[in-house]
């Protein structure tokens, strides 16, 4: 990974120089994205290291959300880069500059090889981590950008169509924004303590209420602790006459929630149906 970061930084410098010499805005756009690739890898793996720390008296839930914060930083950076490239491309349409097509193709070809190698290094981990997936998306988007730059260089070299350069820049920017937008909603949902997308709170509560001796649940909070784990906190009302089995009922509810919904972090406050608290909502306060 250190080698991948180093190579991406060197490639960024080469692309900026090549973009200035050739006059290609698309090349410079690809260089900026390459720089964000290197930064995203550094942030992603730094966050992954922090996330492995055990819980302590400062972070009682642990540090797993460090990866979510890193993903938000990387995705936000992608969005900023995308809008900046759109601005630069639009300006280039109004003030076109000559572009050296063959130089653009050579440098972009080298960039494409490096982008694909870097993406391959992060592919396997990207499947199970939104943090690494954000870094992988940086690399994948940059590989697509290199392909677009090669195509632009070929068209400029063959036909002299300089307008293709800002057009390809707009396409690169659009692709970057589309990829970032598709991921950032899930990241924000976790940070806002949203319910896991695959779990409906009413379905989870209904599963608990199927257990013999359970009257109802209320004051329920269901949220994503990180990308893979969810938690439930609720008041569980035991039916009248079943209070003697309260502990067994609680354990049965936890077992069912684990089996059906994969919920292993469940906190239940027990109440008797004859002393149920009033004025509370079924979900939330």
Between residues 109 and 218, the one the model is more confident about: 218
In whole angstroms, give the CA distance from residue 104 to residue 156.
9
Q: What is the CATH number of domain 201-275?
A: 3.30.70.1350
3-state SS, residue 227: coil
Whether the full predicted model's pTM is greater than 0.75, yes or no, is: no
Range in 54-58, 123-127, 147-151 with the lowest mean pLDDT: 123-127
Between residues 36 and 76, the one the model is more confident about: 76
3-state SS, residue 237: strand
**Domain 2-191: homologous superfamily in CATH:** Cation efflux protein transmembrane domain (1.20.1510.10)
Alpha carbons within 13 angstroms on the beta-carbon side of residue 262 total: 9
Helix, strand, coil proportions of the chain in percent (round to 5)? 65, 10, 20
**pLDDT tens digits, 138-162:** 677 777 777 877 888 788 888 888 7
Q: CATH 1.20.1510.10 spans which residues of the chain?
A: 2-191
Confidence at residue 215, expressed as pLDDT on a 0 to 100 scale: 93
Q: CATH 3.30.70.1350 spans which residues of the chain?
A: 201-275
**pLDDT tens digits, 222-234:** 999 887 889 999 9
In whole angstroms, give the CA distance from residue 170 to residue 142.
14
């Amino acid at each position: 990974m250190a080698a991948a970061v180093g190579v991406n930084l060197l490639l960024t410098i080469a692309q900026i120089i090549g973009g200035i010499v050739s006059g290609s805005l698309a090349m410079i756009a690809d260089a900026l994205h390459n720089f964000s690739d290197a930064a995203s890898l550094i942030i992603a793996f730094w966050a992954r290291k922090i996330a492995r720390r055990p819980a302590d008296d400062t972070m009682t839930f642990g540090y797993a959300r460090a990866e979510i914060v890193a993903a938000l930083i990387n995705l936000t950076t992608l969005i900023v880069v995308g809008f900046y490239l759109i601005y630069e491309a639009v300006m280039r349409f109004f003030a076109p500059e000559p572009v050296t097509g063959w130089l653009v193709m050579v440098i972009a070809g080298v960039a494409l090889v490096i982008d694909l190698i870097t993406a391959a290094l992060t592919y396997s981990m990207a499947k199970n981590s939104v943090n690494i997936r954000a870094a992988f998306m940086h690399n994948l988007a940059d590989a697509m950008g290199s392909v677009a730059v090669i195509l632009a260089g070929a068209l400029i070299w063959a036909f002299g169509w300089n307008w293709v350069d800002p057009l390809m820049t707009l396409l690169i920017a659009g692709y970057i924004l589309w990829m970032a937008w598709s991921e950032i909603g899930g990241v924000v949902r976790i940070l806002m303590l949203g319910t896991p997308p695959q779990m409906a709170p009413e379905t989870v509560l209904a599963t608990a209420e199927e257990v013999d001796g359970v009257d109802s649940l209320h004051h329920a909070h269901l949220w994503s602790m990180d990308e893979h784990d969810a938690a439930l906190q609720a008041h569980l009302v035991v039916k009248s006459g079943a209070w003697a089995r309260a502990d067994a009922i609680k354990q049965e509810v936890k077992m069912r929630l684990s089996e059906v919904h994969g919920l292993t972090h469940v906190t239940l406050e027990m109440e008797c149906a004859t002393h149920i608290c009033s004025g509370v909502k079924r979900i939330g306060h």
